[in-house]
Structure 1
Amino acid sequence: MHRSRQTAPALLLCALAALAGCAAAVRPPAVAQAQAAAGALQLESRSKHSGGKGGEEKLNLRPIIGIVSQLGDPAPKGHSYIASSYVKLVESAGARAVPILCDMSKEEVERRFKAVNGILIPGGAQDLRPGQPFFDTVQQLVDLTIEANDNGNYFPLHGVCLGMEALSVAVSRNHSILSDYDSENLPSPLFLTDIAASGRSRFFSALPPQVVEHLQTRPYAMENHAHGLAWTAVEENPRMKEFFDVLSLSVDRVGKVYVSTMEAKKYPISATQWHPEKNAFEWTPDKDIPHHPDAIEVTQEVANFFVSEARRNFHAPASQDEEEDLLIYNWAPSYTGKHKYKGEEVDFVESYFFPLAPEFKRQLAAKRQARQAQRAPAAAAAAEE
């Protein structure tokens, strides 16, 4: 293990800031210069949207993230849920969310996969064995992600806590690869491996140096899990060792070491055992969630990393009507933070609840018809004009 305080990048940033300050001091604040700069920024924005000039990378400026729902608390019987903190996480970086229900048919899961630009597998508590709805949906999404990337279609996927555990089972093809850990409600620092500390990981290299330093030196990684992945489990499973690079380790209350961050070697697939979304968006007094401004920056920068990855993908709904049908805005979140639910997941301020897939489809059709009925008078008036 190697811990790096990222001092060299910090010094370099200071030097660049000083240089910029000197340049500003000798440059007159001319209106013409300001207008030229504004024009250049507008040209850059148009260039990125239209495919780029001079070798600039084309970006998708309307990214959509698919988020997997799960059964159980706090959802009522006959429903699945998504904690709204995951929706807010992607929205905070300029993306929108589409629910992918864990009990949807394979055909519907694939249809939604082809309409979104990245997949977020959230934390929670689910049965990670083949034949279980949540795991089977995750396995399908992992397989679709790998297939898309193998075909040259850049498509990112990120797992949080349960999401990382599900990824581990899906890739290893071993549902007993996880171990027990005493890390519930245990905000912790991260111990970076040499791969991450030396700047060879996409995930940590994308975060600002001060965020990486804070994650190593302060308890800003919100750990809240009873299961996890041992370092030895990666080393001893050929599929895992070939697929993933371990980026950080953490320690539970009794001194057991587990993998806390990892990413795929060849694919834009990443995972954190810790919860970046909680720092900014969950407020239960029952958990020791870090809310320091520097911890909030962790949330923001992890969101920026993931959504920036999604901007490199160009999946899209078939039409504006389909986009409106897919988005999570069709469903209202419930204020679950004011209640005490029995079960493991009691710390969500807000949650989205979805009926099981057949009823979900029926309700969505009713919402579509209501939207069309609202548009009808305006369309008729426009036709008369």
Structure 2
Amino acid sequence: MDSARAPHLIFLLCLLLVSLLAPPPKGAAAAAPGVIRLPSLAGKAGARACGAQPDPAAYDRPVIGIVSHPGDGAGGRISNGTATSYIGASYVKFVEAAGARVIPLVYNEPEERLLEKLSLVNGVLFTGGSEKQGVYFETIKKVFQHVLDKNDAGEPFPLFAQCLGFELVSMIVSKFPSYSFEGTVFQRFDPDLIKKVSTSCLVMQNHMKAIFEWRKPMIPHSEDAVQVTQHFANHFISQARKSPNRPPADKVLDNLIYNNNPTFSGKISTGRRPAPRSTTPPPPPVYDRPVIGVVTHPGDGTYEMRTHGSGSYIAASYVKFVESAGARVVPLVYDEPEERLLEVRADLASCFYFLLFCQYFPPSVSP
């Protein structure tokens, strides 16, 4: 182990053991096994915000609409309904990692409902998939026309089209051969990163996968690959910040994707597993599939947690914080059996660090 890191790791492990061995607060109820909540801590009292004034020309609360894709995203294992649609979690994380929120644009919802949601967003994302016709394609055309109308009127309104989404855009604009696109995404790249992109395999042209998708071994997860993905996400959202649209906060909250319960569709995505590589490269000196252990906190993540009810939680923002840098998360449940905790630590010892987080509470007595 690197001697420079050893003291820090020992200190963190000591803090972890203290938190695990400390007796529960008086009156604490037994935690429900297997229950880990991922609440948002929005509205909790915490560190005071700085007094810097935001740039009035840039919207610092951008919202992106993501068009859902037909199906359940799990090969029919969850639902075979013809009206079912889904948005892959990695697309939501891709947008959120750059500082935006997501409103789902359900491809088969009534047109007036679609237009209402479009009035609340500052940009749109078309996902990958397989559907190229029918109601889905018609919805893509309507949304694309909305994007064109906004930009033709002089209002910045970016579109990020990925995989199938880009293919559908190509199908639409191919009917207008004189139409030209001008992109500036690479202007944000450092010269060194531009050189690496042109000479190394850092992307699959599925730009969120380098950070958030782990099934296929050919997906690059190096630090450079993660930076490329972050640059794409940051550029997309930087353009959305230029949108003059300032939707009512209550309407945005009522339409955010977290009004829908996320559905776990399996440990890996659907589809065929890739064939193993013909040769196994030597292990690199830097591990590109890191895992972070996050210790849960007693309670449910709301103000009620101060009563120390059952269960435990990890704030969703901590998970996103780790994932946006290209790592995965294993929850360390604070009251699970010690042998289980040690089992997780032993299994992942070569690639494991701990994230200990602080929770601020409002003072009970005003000074």
Q: TM-score, normalised by structure 2?
A: 0.55
1:139 alignment partner, one of 138, 141, 146 = 141
Change (3 A) 1:164 1:144: same
Deviation at 1:173, TM superposition (A): 3.5
Rounded to whole Å, the distance in 2 between the matches of 1:143 and 1:162 is 17
Rounded to whole Å, the distance in 2 between the matches of 1:63 and 1:113 is 13
Change (3 A) 1:144 1:329: same
3-state secondary structure, aligned to 2:161: strand
Q: Runs of 4+ in structure 1 displaced over 6 angstroms? A: none
Q: TM-score, normalised by structure 1?
A: 0.52
1:278 alignment partner, one of 209, 226, 234 = 209
1:290 aligned to 2:292?
no
Change (3 A) 1:300 1:95: same
1:169 alignment partner, one of 168, 171, 174 = 171
Q: Which moved more, 1:71-80 or 1:212-221?
A: 71-80
Residue in 2 that maps onto 1:271: none
The residue correspondences of 1:133-282 to structure 2 (distance < 5 A) are: 133-173=135-175, 201-222=183-204, 274-282=205-213
Residue in 1 that maps onto 2:80: 77
Rounded to whole Å, the distance in 1 between the matches of 2:175 and 2:195 is 35
Change (3 A) 1:71 1:219: same
Greater RCO between the two (CA within 8 Å, min separation 6)?
A: 2
List alignment gaps of at least 5 residues for structure 2: 1-49, 274-367
Residue in 1 that maps onto 2:116: 111
The residue correspondences of 1:309-348 to structure 2 (distance < 5 A) are: 309-317=239-247, 319-338=248-267, 341=270
Deviation at 1:343, TM superposition (A): 7.7
Q: Deviations over 1:225-267 (max 9, x none)?
A: xxxxxxxxxxxxxxxxxxxxxxxxxxxxxxxxxxxxxxxxxxx
CA RMSD of the aligned region, Å? 2.7
List alignment gaps of at least 5 residues for structure 1: 1-41, 52-57, 178-194, 223-273, 345-385
Share of identical aligned residues, percent?
36
Q: Deviations over 1:152-172 (max 9, x none)?
A: 211111101111101111222
Residue in 2 that maps onto 1:46: 53
Residue in 2 that maps onto 1:305: 235
Rounded to whole Å, the distance in 1 between the matches of 2:217 and 2:202 is 13
Q: Which has the higher helix share?
A: 1
Deviation at 1:98, TM superposition (A): 0.7
Residue in 2 that maps onto 1:91: 96
Indicate if the aligned counterparts of 1:109 and 1:137 stay in contact, CA closer than 8 A.
Answer: no
Equivalenced residues, count: 217
3-state secondary structure, aligned to 2:107: coil
Indicate if the aligned counterparts of 2:54 and 2:60 stay in contact, CA closer than 8 A.
Answer: no
Q: Deviations over 1:42-68 (max 9, x none)?
A: 67x4150xx3xxxxxx10010000001
Q: Deviations over 1:29-88 (max 9, x none)?
A: xxxxxxxxxxxxx67x4150xx3xxxxxx1001000000110134262221011111100
Deviation at 1:321, TM superposition (A): 2.9
Residue in 2 that maps onto 1:67: 66
Letter in 2 for 1:280: I
Q: Deviations over 1:108-157 (max 9, x none)?
A: 22111111000010111112x3xx12211111111111111111211111
Rounded to whole Å, the distance in 2 between the matches of 1:126 and 1:62 is 32
